[in-house]
Structure 1
Amino acid sequence: MTFDATFSSHIYSLPFVGILLSISLGPILFQNIWHKNYFRFAIFWSLISLTMLMGKFGFRVTLQEWIHMLFHEYIPFMLMIAALYTITGGIHIVIRVRAHAGTNGLLLLVGSFLASFIGTTGAAMLLIRPLLDMNRHRKYRIHLVIFFIFLVANVGGSLTPLGDPPLFLGYLQGIPFWWPMEHLFGPMVKVLILLIAIFLAIDHYLLTKEEKQPKVRETGQRLLHIMGMRNFPILLSVVMSVWMLGEWTDAPSSGILELTWAEIIRNILLLGFALISWKITPKMVRYYNQYCWEPFKEVARLFIGIFTTIIPVIQMLHQGITGPFGGLLQLANPGGQPDSKLYFWLTGWLSAFLDNAPTYLVFFHMAGGDAQVLSTSMAPTLMAISAGAVFMGAMTYIGNAPNFMVKAIAEKQHIKMPSFFGYMLWSCAILLPAFIIFCWIFL
């Protein structure tokens, strides 16, 4: 950061709090107004934040910080989401098997691991329709959608920066590509096993209450049919390019906005992969997937506001215990040592009600913001922050972007999903015990 003065008041964090509260409460309290005007909310809070910064630091320094954020954080973040959203939207899967607990559980397991490599949004959009189609004759289907949100849309995205937006933000801050795989694989697998075991018990019980299902396989039809197979090599290319360019730690500077050649090449490749996928995918495939750009546009418009208003918050956290957030830092770091359990629950609960990507970034910087230190000597703390952001995004519909998207798709198929607080009854009853066990074993 190039700010040459310190922040003495919490007031500079108010626009960040304002936009997060708008995102979390807007869809609940005034849904129609929100969906028509959410970009105006993002611009409103951004302008307030930038105006306050210009009043303190001047136009030139504020513009410099905003441009740095734009090219080093926002654009790479959106290019990654755009690439995965475009490529996975070009793959359509049809599964023709009789629904039973074993096949449903297997699909959830496969989808959970797939989410780490094609993103929770990509995996959710790819597999929610096949799951619902397999179970279309059933009376009881709400639990299928809820566990799908738990596992595929959240917990499953724990193993790489491609899996969930918080981890990609960590990657942009300097966390190694395979760090989540090394430190979160064990916790994720144990949480998955516990949740899938609960799912199998519930699904098996509800199947016993169902009427006998008709056979769904017809002569000459394949059990598994995939359209858009040509997108799989492009997906693999995304994974390999992001990983390999991330390993190029001594990449020379390009001389353009302090970007290295590794960063520029990665951004160009991500854009190129998205364009190739769009060009080679038959329109019919995207039609079957009900593909549209509105979810991506909403993320892009909201996150420009989030990334803008978080600039002063990060600077205040870097001031340490002498800054405006000194009391909170002392609470999270009693005696100067981080409390990993507290980091997990603070990150998790805020991720559940706000948005897990900016929440991760806040606590990342609260823990010092040094990627080298956090990924080595403070690895338990970073694991707690990462797990809190990724796992507990499943606690509410608004914790992670795919949650609402999955809910909307289910409701279009005439599944009466629980209300906001009805969903929380499910998540508190099932996820909270699992997360308490996670803390007891790993933190």
Structure 2
Amino acid sequence: MKYARAALVAGCMAALPALAQAAELDGASLALWWAVPFAGLLLSIALMPLLLPSIWHHHFGKITTAWALAFLVPLVLMHGAGAAAVSFVHALLAEYLPFVILLTALYVVAGGIYIRGSLTGTPVLNTAILALGAVLASFMGTTGASMLLIRPLIRANAHRSKVVHIVVFFIFIVSNAGGSLTPLGDPPLFLGFLKGVDFSWTLLHIWPQALFLIGALLALFFVLDCWMARGDVAVAQPAQAAREPLGFDGKLNFALLGAVVGLVLLSGMWKSAVAFDILGTEVGLPGLVRDIGLIGVALLSLALTPKQVHADNQFGWGPMQEVAKLFAGIFLTIIPVIAMLKAGVDGPFGAVVRAVTNPDGTPNIAMYFWATGALSSFLDNAPTYLVFFNTAGGDPAALMTALAPTLVAISAGAVFMGANSYIGNAPNLMVKAIAEDRGVRMPSFFGYMLWSTAILIPLFVVMTYIWFL
């Protein structure tokens, strides 16, 4: 297997000069069956942990690779090695590597901070942690806030037998809704920032929707947690003599977390003409500096964080490896789906694009909210945001002024509805993996969607009537 992989890599490298002029994949010419590998991967993520848990746990990486090859092999055979190489390199360099490098840096740095102290998971404390996470998510990213707080939250509730609802609401609030106020919070908003949307625009225009959603979720959670705690026979309080004052170990990582935020901001604000063209994918100097800097920050954190901190935090690579492997398959198999969406009204998904426009040519705000959100629930929300950003005209000056309600709908749909499924946003899967690693029996893919459908969808309907009609 190793030799086969080496031969494949060598063959690709040798073919690079000849492939450099290859055309990009034309979504308008693709048939709907090109989306089958992506749908197959989603169904595998949804069903196999439920139906074949042992096979999935041991072989999910191989299953993901199989679905990726189910897309790449026909692409090579039907569109040529050039189109396959261009699509593969673009997904790798422009999307997957920046995504997984940032995720890894946040995972490592947050995993190097141990919040010590005898926290007792009462409804008041749990609600306070979720509220704190919602605030932090917009300034250190949903991934950073999730990785920082999920471990102490689970530890604080270790004495309780009913904790699934706590993790589910954590995903709703900290891993998604909390990242809606700044470009640092969630990748779609960062892409908008790179396209010219002012850094403060989201804070000034989306705070009413964010406040409503987060406030409603916190209130619902508090009521539910009170009810769960009252009926939980394991809610015995820890002995007072064993209580430890609140504190932090691995404090250096707070500075490294600031470095991560600074590198991300720098890459968006620094303009440079220096760029490298790799098979049609432009790799700019700011992005390159950001990614190299993030790798350096992660290595520094691993080298300087005391081993005891990682041991206390039960830090391990399992959750990160799972997310990296699954999203590698998602970023590859999603290529034809995004290409078909980018084709607009001329593509197989033309009906979706037409649905967001009224007969008189004006944008249908409610449909922008729901279409962006529905696709962001199962596709990567960052390219989905870009598709509808461009469908709405793609002019940041117009979208921030005359078309501001449209941009609010697109932004809110991409960020808020990423909570609808485990794959709607990367931190969702990471939190699930960490919780399961700590012994929490998380819902299946569809089990989680029962939670999101019952709790989130009614709130989104209310938001539609208040702001998007």
Total equivalences in the alignment: 438
The one-letter amino acid paired with 1:237 is A
How far apart, in 1, do the equivalents of 2:70 and 2:446 lie? 32
Mapped pair 1:12 → 2:12: no
Instruction: Please name the residue that 2:275 is paired with.
Output: 254
How far apart, in 2, do the equivalents of 1:168 and 1:233 lie? 22
Instruction: Please name the residue that 1:87 is paired with.
Output: 109
Q: Structure 1 396/11 Cα, relative in aligned 2: closer, same or farther at 3 Å?
A: closer
After TM superposition, give the deviation of residue 89 of structure 1 in Å. Answer: 0.7
Whether contact under 8 Å (2:368, 2:388) holds in the other structure is no
Following superposition of structure 1 onto structure 2, how do residues 126-165 of structure 1 map, counting pairs within 5 Å?
Answer: 126-138=148-160, 141-165=163-187
Mapped pair 1:308 → 2:313: no
After TM superposition, give the deviation of residue 275 of structure 1 in Å. Answer: 1.0
After TM superposition, give the deviation of residue 156 of structure 1 in Å. Answer: 1.7
After TM superposition, give the deviation of residue 405 of structure 1 in Å. Answer: 4.8
Following superposition of structure 1 onto structure 2, how do residues 184-203 of structure 1 map, counting pairs within 5 Å?
Answer: 184-203=206-225
After TM superposition, give the deviation of residue 106 of structure 1 in Å. Answer: 1.5
Range with greater deviation from structure 2 (33-42 or 135-144): 135-144
After TM superposition, give the deviation of residue 109 of structure 1 in Å. Answer: 0.5
After TM superposition, give the deviation of residue 165 of structure 1 in Å. Answer: 4.8
Q: Percent identity?
A: 43
Per-residue CA shift, 1:177-197, capped at 9, x if unaligned? 555434433321221112212
How far apart, in 1, do the equivalents of 2:208 and 2:255 lie? 28
After TM superposition, give the deviation of residue 139 of structure 1 in Å. Answer: 5.8
After TM superposition, give the deviation of residue 229 of structure 1 in Å. Answer: 0.7
How far apart, in 2, do the equivalents of 1:78 and 1:414 lie? 26
Following superposition of structure 1 onto structure 2, how do residues 91-130 of structure 1 map, counting pairs within 5 Å?
Answer: 91-97=113-119, 99-130=121-152
Instruction: Please name the residue that 1:281 is paired with.
Output: 305
- What SS does structure 2 have at the residue aligned with 1:119? helix
Mapped pair 1:383 → 2:408: yes
Whether contact under 8 Å (2:177, 2:415) holds in the other structure is yes
Among residues 78, 92, 117, which one is paired with 2:100 in the alignment? Answer: 78
Instruction: Please name the residue that 1:317 is paired with.
Output: 341
Whether contact under 8 Å (2:389, 2:410) holds in the other structure is no
How far apart, in 1, do the equivalents of 2:272 and 2:345 lie? 34
- What SS does structure 1 have at the residue aligned with 2:248? strand
Range with greater deviation from structure 2 (88-97 or 138-147): 138-147
Whether contact under 8 Å (1:91, 1:228) holds in the other structure is yes
How far apart, in 1, do the equivalents of 2:238 and 2:30 lie? 68
After TM superposition, give the deviation of residue 110 of structure 1 in Å. Answer: 0.4
After TM superposition, give the deviation of residue 53 of structure 1 in Å. Answer: 3.1
The one-letter amino acid paired with 1:79 is I
How far apart, in 2, do the equivalents of 1:227 and 1:322 lie? 56
Whether contact under 8 Å (2:376, 2:417) holds in the other structure is yes
Q: Structure 1 49/182 Cα, relative in aligned 2: closer, same or farther at 3 Å?
A: farther
Among residues 451, 457, 469, which one is paired with 1:432 in the alignment? Answer: 457
Range with greater deviation from structure 2 (239-248 or 318-327): 318-327
After TM superposition, give the deviation of residue 201 of structure 1 in Å. Answer: 3.1
Q: Structure 1 143/60 Cα, relative in aligned 2: closer, same or farther at 3 Å?
A: closer
Instruction: Please name the residue that 2:296 is paired with.
Output: 272
Whether contact under 8 Å (2:31, 2:348) holds in the other structure is yes
How far apart, in 1, do the equivalents of 2:64 and 2:442 lie? 29
- Across the aligned residues of Structure 1 and Structure 2, the Cα RMSD in angstroms comes to 3.3
Q: Structure 1 372/78 Cα, relative in aligned 2: closer, same or farther at 3 Å?
A: farther
Q: Structure 1 18/412 Cα, relative in aligned 2: closer, same or farther at 3 Å?
A: closer
After TM superposition, give the deviation of residue 55 of structure 1 in Å. Answer: 3.8
Per-residue CA shift, 1:223-246, capped at 9, x if unaligned? x12111100011111112211220
- What SS does structure 2 have at the residue aligned with 1:245? helix
Q: Structure 1 199/19 Cα, relative in aligned 2: closer, same or farther at 3 Å?
A: closer
After TM superposition, give the deviation of residue 86 of structure 1 in Å. Answer: 0.8
Q: Structure 1 162/43 Cα, relative in aligned 2: closer, same or farther at 3 Å?
A: farther
Whether contact under 8 Å (1:97, 1:216) holds in the other structure is no
The one-letter amino acid paired with 2:287 is E
Range with greater deviation from structure 2 (265-274 or 94-103): 94-103
